[in-house]
Amino acid sequence: MKFFALYEISPGSGTYQLGTVEIDAASTSAAVAIAAKTAPAGCRTGVWPYKAVAGLPDSLPPAAGETGQMYDVLAEPAGPTGTFAPSGQVFGSFGADASGMTLSLERFFGYRLGLIPQGAKPAPAATPAPASSSGTTSAAGTTSGGGSTVSSGGSATPAG
């Protein structure tokens, strides 16, 4: 599935800005985990499920570990401003990943919907990378395109 990150505009603001890096992940939870790696310090992270072609999404069973995950719904009812706010709705991944329901209801409502895990914690403050005596460092994951970190279960590529 394809997603874009939603980052809280400022710590505790409750409004979210649409990111510019496309995330390819097996589930909503995996997409949130990838997006959270580049979240601003003190800000919460959600995702906006994305489908490039018209029509309804394919019904996909939840990926391993996704079943039972609950998400607060973020809405962008004013049109494509890039700013999302809580709608008061809650979606869960039970018979299918919650992102599919989000994509389907976007067509009904006529505006974009995003998801943020219930009880999402703010991103920690950035910590400096330790110096390496050999002049190189290693990390779990790979870097592609715009410098986005990729972990197993998904990838991120710049939107274009």
What is the domain partition of the chain in residue ranges?
2-127+136-158
Tell me the per-residue pLDDT of 35-50, one tens digit each, with 9 for 90 and over.
999 999 999 999 999 8
Range scoring the smallest mean pLDDT among 40-44, 49-53, 68-72, 132-136: 132-136
Give the type of residue at 124. P
Please give, one letter per residue, the 3-state secondary structure of 19-70: EEEEEEECCHHHHHHHHHCCCCCCCCEEEEEECCCCCCCCCCCCCCCCCCCE
Confidence (pTM): 0.67
Across 65-74, 125-134, 145-154, which has the greatest mean pLDDT? 65-74
- How confident is residue 52, by pLDDT bands cut at 50, 70 and 90? low
- Are 93 and 24 within 8 A, CB to CB? no
Query: Could you tell me the pLDDT band of residue 58, with boundaries at 50, 70 and 90?
Result: low
Please, which pLDDT band fits residue 51 given cuts at 50, 70 and 90? confident
Percent above pLDDT 90 for the chain: 48
Q: Which DSSP letter does residue 78 get?
A: T
